[in-house]
Structure 1
């Protein structure tokens, strides 16, 4: 009753999933920085996540992980799982999963789904992942999820969606979780997940070093004026900007002596 993709892009791993199921993000995705990612679904075996990631951390390939997890599981016929590691990816669909059920895998991705409108869902997801090469992994995963949704997705309808991306040190405060968003119950969960991902990028995205503007001259004057309107005035400009950003949640985009154009636009909008 779910369609998902696990993917690898450089040193980042991620999972994106959608389903006619309450809070699918609770059950399906698992990922560990420097190790890999797993999606467990159909009649999901949640133990696959820690067990599979431990096996990957120990050097097993994705294919080995799938074989070892399902081989030791008496309920394997009702399981579906996708795994991606640093070297390969694999997918498995048990013969008792409800139609349509199946998956596809390449070097750096595995897509799978069950109770779908048809094979076209995983085909569309695979094509979207491949076509988006060069984009950030979060965008690639969301593009694949959107393609699956637009191709018909879960034949029972829509309810929830989730995305998880891990990369060493890429998260808030240096955590390895770069992105972890869930839509637990919504009429258009994939669209809502994309909206949340855009907000996450706004607040926590990495500034483009080439686009940063020196806090000098007219730029500095404008920033100081905008900050004063918001009640932050007097003293060092970097300190004032830091004080505002701490309350407006843009601190991850600050760089001493410079300003991200994204942050400047939020100041112009009067964000508090």
Structure 2
């Protein structure tokens, strides 16, 4: 009922998943920075998530973690599982009682799996998308893999939910956590498309300014920014940016063009 990728990119780990199932992001993914990522699906065993991460912390590779989880599970024939650790290949498992079509592929730093799919072309398209985009930003790369599977037929029962979960050291909001991205579309006619829209909003609000594009807040530009901020009823750029949830893009004495574009769009009085 689900197709997913678990993957590693440098210090980051992530999972992208979609399904004809309510709130798939609440059931399938788990990841921990510096440790690895787990996806449990088909007849999902949610205990695999903490147990798999705990086993990865001991230094076991992904294949040994999968073997250990399955050995202790009398319903393993109904399970599907993907795991990736800090090094080496990912591992995917499809129990013999999973509903057709079911299967997966794995390679260095990734595992892709799905069940009740349109056919093997779904995971084949996902793997091709992963291998063809090594330079893409990690979250975007995972989402593109999910979109490739969706386009290839995805869950043969239809669409309902999707999720993207990415962790990396201190990559969360304000550096206060390791959760770089935790986006969920719980019930939607086009969940993969909606996930992409949410990613665009996430990048706008929480993406980091490119230092090569920053503009000095001096001269005419500085005056324009002060005028636009005042038109919004704020005393300074920092206050306006905080209200707009753009504070992560602020740089003292300079301005991110993304922030400037939003300010110009929203800041001018009506009729200006």
Q: TM-score by structure 2 length?
A: 0.96
Preserved contact between residue 142 and residue 194 of structure 1 (Cα < 8 Å):
yes
CA deviations 1:155-212 (Å, max 9, x no partner) are 0000000010000111102111000010010000000011001100000001111111
* 1:30 equivalent in structure 2: 30
- Structure 1's consecutive aligned runs of 4 or more residues displaced over 6 angstroms after TM superposition are none
Partner of 2:159: 158
Alignment-derived partner of residue 269 in structure 1 = 265
Equivalent position of 1:75 in the other structure: 75
* Whole-Å separation in 2 of the counterparts to 1:170 and 1:219: 31
Number of matched residues? 266
Question: Is 1:245 equivalent to 2:247 in the alignment?
Answer: no
**Pairwise CA RMSD:** 1.0
Tell me which residue corresponds to 1:237. none
* Partner Cα distance (1:108, 1:101) in 2: 21
Query: CA–CA distance in 2 between the matches of 1:29 and 1:271?
Result: 40
1:118 counterpart = 2:119: yes
Assess if the C-alpha contact under 8 Å between 1:161 and 1:190 holds in 2.
Answer: yes
Map residues 33-52 of structure 1 onto 2, 5 A cutoff. Answer: 33-52=33-52
Question: Contact conserved, 2:229 with 2:267, CA < 8 A, in 1?
Answer: no
Task: Tell me the equivalent position of 2:132.
Answer: 131
Partner SS, residue 270 of structure 1: helix
| Aligned partner (choices 230, 233, 245) of residue 231 of structure 1 | 233
Deviation at 1:271, TM superposition (A): 5.8
Contact kept in structure 2, 1:213 and 1:259, CA below 8 Å: yes
Q: SS of the counterpart of 2:39?
A: strand
SS at match of 2:82: strand
Structure 2 segments unaligned to the other structure (5+ residues):
none
Equivalent position to 1:260, from 256, 259, 270? 256
Larger CA deviation: 256-265 vs 219-228: 219-228
2:115–2:155 CA contact under 8 A, matched in 1? yes
Tell whether the 8 Å contact from 1:248 to 1:271 is kept in structure 2 after alignment: no
Say whether the 8 Å CA contact 2:228–2:267 is kept in structure 1: no
Counterpart of 2:211 in structure 1 is 209
What corresponds to 1:108 in structure 2?
109
Q: Distance in 2 between matches of 1:169 and 1:51?
A: 23
